[in-house]
Amino acid sequence: MLEVLTTIIPIFLIILTGLVLRGIDFLPGHLLGPLNRLVFYVAIPAMIFQKVAEADFHAHFQPVLLAGTLLPPLVIFALGQATLRATSMPGSESGTFLQSSYHGNLGYIGLAVAYYYLGDQGLTQASILSGFLMLLQNLLSVWVLRPEPGTAGRNRALYLVKKILVNPVILSALAGIAFSLFRIPLPEIISRSLSILSGMALPLALIVIGASLSVRLIRAHLGQALASGGFKLVLLPFVGYLAYIGLGLEKAVFMPGLVLLAAPSATVTYVMAAEMHGSPDLASATVTLNTLLSALTYTLWLGLL
């Protein structure tokens, strides 16, 4: 448990540092957009590409582990839809609630926990899994959020293609897999340049995620945010654990997948809610509350295992 605490506490202290810096206006709001783009489009893709491209893909990729990692979001998606049918949640909020219940923050928090707790090998395995898992998350999210009436099919298809084609995490993971599969060596200059970029990826990502949190809307959406957190932080990784055990995987093998499944709701749920006629306020409240609660749930999951 001491190892878990010495991993989780520093990670979330950096997140809280970002929140404090934003609160005292040391990190003003107009800088968050450029910093977020730097992390999302440059630093994290560089890290993922290098880790996967320089790894032995056949040694790190396990189809059974991938199957066990992709199954839980589908289960939660089905359970969430059944729950919504039994409630009177407004349509604009229902899609955002459901998306927040399975769409995890893989790039900013999941990969950070994987690296600081599992090391380089765990990060490499998590990076490979994250590309496939993020692809599934985007597919489900575009399916559940509602475009303008009368243009649903066209809007969903275009939005899905856009999210896949411009998603740097998916593209960097797929490019890294191609380099690894075909054993294409990275020139030393390129490798060292990627290492420099990778060094700023996770620390800056944690600062940005902390500075992006907003506690103002939590009170207005507390019940829905807590329910979404129950799905995302507790039930989703629990289903993943059952799937891994049922598939006969050992703890050392499935831990990178479980770390990704236990990640809090992704900040991109806010963007997708705004663009696809969801509820940005609910998304903001859910992301903030789930991110803060994940410090506790990560500690419990890693400690129990």
The Cα angle at residue 115 between residues 110 and 119, in degrees rounded to 5: 145
Q: What per-residue confidence (pLDDT) applies to 138? A: 81
Residue pair 141/28 in contact (Cβ under 8 Å)? The answer is no
Residue 265, beta-bridge partner list: 104
Q: What per-residue confidence (pLDDT) applies to 205? A: 93
Output the six-digit token pair for 53. 């491209």
**Amino acid letter at 292?**
L
Cα separation, 305 vs 289, whole angstroms: 24
Q: How confident is the model at residue 128 (pLDDT cuts 50, 70, 90)?
A: very high
- Asked if the model's pLDDT at residue 253 lies above 90, the reply is yes
Q: What per-residue confidence (pLDDT) applies to 163? A: 65
% the chain with pLDDT above 90: 62
Cα separation, 45 vs 282, whole angstroms: 29
- Asked if the model's pLDDT at residue 223 lies above 60, the reply is yes
45-59, 92-106, 141-155: which range is least confident on average?
Answer: 141-155
Q: Cβ-count burial of 83 within 10 angstroms (0-12 exposed, 13-18 middle, 19+ buried)? A: middle
Residue pair 272/134 in contact (Cβ under 8 Å)? The answer is no
**Amino acid letter at 221?**
H
pLDDT digits (tens, 9 = 90+) for 192-213: 999 999 999 999 999 999 999 9
pLDDT digits (tens, 9 = 90+) for 150-208: 445 556 566 666 666 678 888 899 899 999 989 999 999 999 999 999 999 999 999 99
- The distance from CA 112 to its chain's CA centroid, rounded to whole angstroms, is 10
12-16, 133-137, 187-191: which range is least confident on average?
Answer: 133-137
Averaged pLDDT for residues 103-120:
93
Cα separation, 32 vs 19, whole angstroms: 12
pLDDT digits (tens, 9 = 90+) for 16-37: 999 999 999 999 988 888 998 8
Residue pair 106/260 in contact (Cβ under 8 Å)? The answer is yes
Residue pair 161/135 in contact (Cβ under 8 Å)? The answer is no
Other Cβ atoms within 10 Å of 23 Cβ, number = 13
Instruction: Give pTM, 2 decimals.
Output: 0.89
- Asked if the model's pLDDT at residue 71 lies above 60, the reply is yes
Q: What per-residue confidence (pLDDT) applies to 151? A: 47
